[in-house]
Amino acid sequence: MIELVFIGTGGGRFAMITQKRRTGGIRILSESLNMHLDPGPGALVYSLEMGLDPQKIGAILVSHSHPDHANDAEVLIEAMSHGTKKKRGLLAAARSVLFGNDVCEQSISNYHQRMPERIVDLRVGTKFDVEDLEVQAVKAEHSDPDAVGLRFRNRDYGDFAYTSDSEYFDGIQGFYEGVRLLLLCVLRPSGKPWKGHMTTDDALKIVEATKPEMAIITHFGMEMIFRARMEAKIIEKEAGIPTKPAVDGMRVTLGEEIHVNVPKKQMSLSGFIAKGEP
């Protein structure tokens, strides 16, 4: 089976700087795979807290250069390379992350880029293999013009995908057709658009068009944090597709069926204790 561990489910500036939702990204695990996707602030500390040894990571994927997706990439590279003692692992990152562009500075130093054994420059259409997964970069439209979404294929369990930060655009659903599990970064609730990001309305259109077995919304801004459960129900009701709001610490297994395991409670840095949401 493939397991996805939500080390963080927050996104955007204020969710990130308050840690009302953690921003550590997603760990993707299988018998042969240990990969970290979009390691924002807290990826290292929360991985350790959850018993996920960062020194066992074999691949790091970064969809774009904003800090809520890329901040902890360098420290995870140091962990992956066993304290820089061994050239090891794979780094796949958007062009902005590796080289910068007219909008964003390079977010992983040349020094750290020398530590992985292999580097992949993620551009739309790029394909590569990581252990038992084939990974493809797909189009996103965001304030970082080099941002990409990611589609993953496993020979035994089919496809799953991650939109990363993107606004809705004509044709976006074509990149996600046929996936069993679709992870959508939904910063804002219905009726609250924000350029470069998705709302529940946008996510609904994609889910209706692609009809995955299950959709999961994540990467919540402050306006979504306390509405996520209701917003997921909107998508589920309108699209007729099981839709779950991600919570910190949630684990999803992709096998013959898709199973979601939600922690009973979670703790923010402010000390607020929230019950897990089904």
Residue 267 inside a domain? The answer is no
The residues pairing with 148 across neighbouring beta strands, listed in sequence order, are 139
* Residues of the domain holding 134: 2-262
Report the candidate in 239, 256, 229, 179 with the shortest Cα–Cα distance to residue 205.
239
Asked whether residue 276 is domain-assigned, the answer is no
Sheet holding 118-122, edge to edge: 118-122, 90-94, 59-62, 34-37, 26-29, 2-6, 251-254, 258-261
Give the chain's domain count. 1
Tell the burial category of 36 from Cβ atoms under 10 Å away from its Cβ (0-12, 13-18, 19+).
Answer: buried
Does residue 112 belong to any structural domain of this protein?
yes
CA-based R_g, the chain, Å:
17
Residue 135: CATH number of its domain: 3.60.15.10
Instruction: Name the token pair of 243.
Output: 């839709």
Question: What CA–CA distance (Å, rounded) separates 8 from 243?
Answer: 18
b (16+ CB within 10 A) / e for 228-264: beebbebbbeebebebbbbbbbbbbebeeebebebbe
Structural domain includes residue 98: yes
- The tokens describing 197, both together, are 């990001």
What SS3 state is found at 99?
helix
Report yes or no on 151 lying in a domain. Answer: yes
What are the DSSP calls for 140-157, one per residue?
--SSSTT-EEEEEEETTT
269 lies in a domain? no
pLDDT per residue, tens digit, the chain (278 aa), is: 999 999 999 999 999 999 999 999 999 999 999 999 999 999 999 999 999 999 999 999 999 999 999 999 999 999 999 999 999 999 999 999 999 999 999 999 999 999 999 999 999 999 999 999 999 999 999 999 999 999 999 999 999 999 999 999 999 999 999 999 999 999 999 999 889 999 999 999 999 999 999 999 999 999 999 999 999 999 999 999 999 999 999 999 999 999 999 998 664 444 434 444 44
Determine how β-strand 251-254 pairs with β-strand 133-139: unpaired
